[in-house]
């Protein structure tokens, strides 16, 4: 059985030899001939052991960028010398060469190529070669590096004599993977990442149909540390800036130098020991402040000292616990303008600051709404927001704005409080507006009323339509011959107008004295009695109108008035005498009530 297996294996090996040869690429001699005009063999002569000149074959390639050093020549027992000259390979051959064997790695050998002539000494020949392009086989390679979330650099080097190391790629921080196609062959790789030990290995590629997965797990070489310092100091580790006040990150195992730096402070320096795979917190010694001295006085004395937002008492005072460098010093005293001065403190020196406070200060007046007219002690100062230089004290302020109630108040202005804010009350009633009303009139004439009017800078004008809701009692009529009589009921409608002047009492209430004129038309059915079917009466009605605004658009109103008759038609004269109700249609007291829409 073992004998059979041996012969089968031997047969397969022998079979693979021609198969392998068939897989090799081919090259050929495109041209070979003597060039009688080329004197290279004479001008660049070389002599053999017998003192005879070599012949020269200038070899070139029909393939661009081909390396002619890959070709090997064999002239049997005859010696030859090869030299590279630019894009040609010069082959010096002894006389009488008739055949040559040409070899190239990865290609089929040309054996005993017939030169078609006997090569003569001192002659120059030209040979052109052409070869098939090499087939390049590649395979996709994917590196999977753990742990994920780090940036690992992968370097590779092909296992050949002239290969150089190159970067394969950098892994994705989310997936930990990196992929690239490589030519068939064996490669050495190395995976490197900060704070991790290097990992290397070999991989061999020979299968184009699948992706080679190379899984690499990096071993941590760090500890996780938190460095914290109790002030705004920069933290340096081994001379590299890491953060300010607090920093958390990875450091390699071992001893590290931690330095804290802060301007105008003395740097602190200490060493920490980091252990592999250990999480630790280190409280770093903060830098030591370098203090200076500041002497502060003011006129008048007793001003509060505020340095960089911190209270340092009142003037006069010498302050010794301030770090050197620039500082903003503010002096504040009630009734005086606050003053801010910039000082720079130096080590071992005393800075002197003397400030005279003024009770005059620019006071900014702001209002809601803005662009209100501002009056101070009766003098117009412009529209808000407005800045006026004033001394501390009491001032009478007046602000006006269309649609808002005037602001009149005495206020205390302090130079130490440079902003005065005033909120004005909005008026629901405006000096100029239009309105439409629906109402009911009660009194001597009960009627529905529809009114349209307007205010123009408080001057008022309106027009009304009146539709009576009552009928008269039965009125009996006869003709002058007393031969025919009839009963009639009368009703009334009218038109009127009023003029007045409105007084806005507050944001909701307006009182308007008015004088009105009303023309009433009284009509009834008195056919065939030789009596007019309609008549008229006119009156003048002084009155008072009271508006109450529910909003800037809607409100209620009440308007009492007393009508004085100034005209009576003939028929109305007769009706006036017999009917008290019809008499009230021409004169008497009435009150209108209703709702308003303002625009």
* Residue-range domain boundaries for the chain: 24-131, 138-217, 222-288, 291-355, 360-423, 433-598
For residues 584 and 537, what is the distance between their CA atoms, to the nearest angstrom?
11
CA 569 to chain centre: 81
For residues 55 and 529, what is the distance between their CA atoms, to the nearest angstrom?
161
Give the sheet arrangement for strand 407-413, strand by strand: 379-383, 373-376, 393-400, 407-413
Concatenate the DSSP letters of all residues of 83-136 into one string: EEETTEEEEEE-TT--EEEEEETTB--EEEEE-SS---TT-EEEEEEEEPPPP-
| Integer angstrom CA distances of residue 176 from 34, 143, 151, 193, 214 | 63, 8, 8, 12, 12
Give the pLDDT confidence score for residue 23 in this predicted structure: 57
CATH superfamily of 222-288: Carboxypeptidase-like, regulatory domain (2.60.40.1120)
Provide φ and ψ at 16, rounded to 5°.
Answer: -70, -20
Yes or no: is domain 433-598 CATH 2.40.160.20?
yes
User: Going by C-beta distance under 8 Å and a sequence separation of 6 or more, which residues neighbour residue 453?
Assistant: 434, 435, 437, 460, 461, 462, 463, 498
CATH superfamily of 291-355: Carboxypeptidase-like, regulatory domain (2.60.40.1120)
* Residue 122: count of CB within 10 angstroms of its CB: 15
**Virtual CA dihedral for 403, 407, 408, 409, nearest 10 degrees?**
170
The model carries a pTM of 0.41
Nearest alpha carbon to residue 440 among 429, 424, 451, 426: 451
Nearest alpha carbon to residue 547 among 513, 589, 588, 584: 513
Contact (CB, 8 A) for 401 and 388? no
For residues 296 and 304, what is the distance between their CA atoms, to the nearest angstrom?
10
User: Going by C-beta distance under 8 Å and a sequence separation of 6 or more, which residues neighbour residue 404?
Assistant: 369, 372, 424, 425, 426, 427
pLDDT tens for the chain, 599 residues: list them.
444 444 444 444 444 444 444 457 899 999 999 999 999 999 999 999 889 999 999 999 988 878 888 899 999 999 999 999 988 999 999 999 999 999 998 899 999 999 988 999 999 999 999 998 777 889 999 999 999 888 999 999 999 878 899 999 999 989 999 999 999 999 999 999 988 899 999 999 999 889 999 999 999 889 999 999 989 999 999 999 999 999 999 898 899 999 999 999 999 999 999 999 899 999 999 999 999 999 999 999 999 999 999 999 999 999 999 999 999 999 998 888 889 999 999 999 999 999 999 888 889 999 999 999 999 999 999 999 999 988 888 999 999 998 788 899 999 988 778 899 999 988 788 889 999 999 999 999 999 999 999 999 999 999 999 999 988 888 877 765 555 567 788 899 999 999 999 998 888 899 999 999 999 999 887 655 555 678 899 999 999 999 999 988 999 999 999 999 999 988 888 888 888 888 889 899 999 999 999 99
Beta bridge partner(s), residue 204: 186
CATH class for the domain made up of 138-217? mainly beta
* Residue 594: count of CB within 10 angstroms of its CB: 18
Give the pLDDT confidence score for residue 184 in this predicted structure: 92
Per-residue 3-state assignment (H helix, E strand, C coil) for 344-402: EECCCCEEEEEEECCCEEEEEEEEECCCCEEEECCEEEEECCEEEEEECEEEEEEEECC
Give the pLDDT confidence score for residue 15 in this predicted structure: 42
Give the pLDDT confidence score for residue 529 in this predicted structure: 54
138-217 and 291-355 have identical folds:
yes
For residues 255 and 163, what is the distance between their CA atoms, to the nearest angstrom?
39
Nearest alpha carbon to residue 236 among 256, 219, 217: 256
Give the pLDDT confidence score for residue 484 in this predicted structure: 58
For residues 304 and 302, what is the distance between their CA atoms, to the nearest angstrom?
6
Give the pLDDT confidence score for residue 530 in this predicted structure: 57
Pairing status of strand 419-423 against strand 360-368: parallel
Give the pLDDT confidence score for residue 19 in this predicted structure: 40
Which helix (DSSP H) or strand (DSSP E) does residue 307 occupy? Answer: strand 304-307
């Amino acid at each position: 059985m073992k004998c059979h297996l041996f012969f089968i294996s031997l047969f397969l090996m022998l079979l693979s030899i021609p198969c392998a040869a068939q897989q090799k690429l081919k090259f050929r001699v495109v041209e070979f001939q003597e060039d009688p005009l080329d004197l290279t063999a004479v001008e660049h002569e070389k002599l053999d052991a017998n003192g005879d000149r070599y012949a020269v074959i200038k070899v070139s390639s029909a393939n661009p960028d081909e390396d002619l050093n890959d070709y090997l020549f064999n002239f049997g027992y005859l010696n030859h010398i090869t030299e590279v000259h630019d894009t040609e390979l010069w082959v010096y051959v002894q006389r009488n060469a008739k055949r040559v064997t040409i070899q190239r790695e990865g290609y089929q050998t040309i054996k005993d190529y017939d030169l078609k002539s006997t090569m003569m000494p001192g002659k120059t020949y030209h040979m052109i070669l052409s070869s098939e392009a090499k087939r390049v086989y590649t395979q996709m390679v994917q590196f999977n590096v753990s742990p994920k979330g780090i940036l690992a650099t992968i370097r590779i080097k092909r296992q050949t004599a002239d290969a150089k190391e190159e970067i394969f790629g950098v892994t994705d921080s989310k997936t930990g993977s990196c992929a690239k196609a490589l030519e068939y062959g064996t490669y050495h790789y190395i995976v490197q990442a900060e704070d991790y030990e290097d990992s290397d290995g070999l991989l061999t590629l020979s299968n184009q149909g699948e992706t080679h997965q190379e899984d690499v797990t990096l071993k941590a070489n760090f500890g996780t540390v938190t460095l914290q310092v109790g002030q705004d100091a920069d933290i340096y580790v081994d001379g590299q800036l890491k953060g300010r006040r607090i920093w958390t990150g990875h450091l390699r195992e071992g001893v590290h130098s931690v330095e804290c730096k802060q301007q105008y402070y003395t740097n602190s320096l200490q060493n920490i020991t980091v252990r592999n795979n250990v999480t630790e917190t280190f409280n770093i010694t903060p830098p030591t402040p370098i203090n200076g001295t500041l002497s502060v006085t003011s006129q008048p004395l007793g001003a509060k000292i505020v340095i960089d937002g911190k209270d340092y008492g009142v003037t006069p005072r010498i302050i010794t616990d301030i770090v050197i460098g620039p500082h903003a010093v503010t002096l504040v005293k009630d009734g005086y303008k606050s003053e801010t001065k910039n000082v720079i403190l130096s080590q071992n020196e005393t800075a002197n600051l003397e400030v005279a406070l003024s009770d005059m200060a620019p006071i900014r007046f702001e209002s809601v709404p803005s662009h209100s007219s501002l009056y101070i002690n009766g003098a117009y100062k412009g529209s808000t927001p407005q800045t006026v230089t004033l001394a501390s004290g009491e001032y009478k302020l007046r602000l006006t704005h269309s649609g808002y109630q005037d602001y009149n108040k005495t206020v205390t202005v302090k130079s130490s409080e440079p902003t005065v804010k005033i909120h004005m009350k909005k008026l629901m009633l405006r000096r100029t507006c239009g309105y439409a009303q629906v109402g009911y009139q009660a009194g001597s004439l009960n009627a529905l009323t529809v009114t349209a009017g307007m205010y123009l800078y408080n001057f008022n004008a309106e027009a009304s339509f009146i539709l009576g809701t009552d009928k008269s009692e039965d009125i009996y009529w006869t003709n002058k011959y007393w031969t025919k009589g009839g009963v009639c009921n009368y009703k009334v409608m009218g038109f009127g107008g009023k003029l007045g002047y409105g007084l806005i009492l507050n944001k909701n209430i307006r009182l308007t004295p008015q004088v009105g004129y009303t023309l009433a038309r009284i009509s009834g059915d008195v056919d065939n009695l030789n009596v007019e079917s309609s008549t008229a009466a006119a009156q003048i009605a002084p009155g008072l109108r009271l508006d109450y605004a529910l909003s800037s658009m809607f409100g209620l109103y009440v308007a009492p008035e007393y009508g004085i008759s100034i005209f009576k038609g003939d028929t109305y004269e007769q009706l006036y005498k017999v009917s008290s109700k019809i008499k009230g249609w021409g004169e008497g007291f009435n009150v209108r009530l209703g709702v308003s829409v303002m625009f």
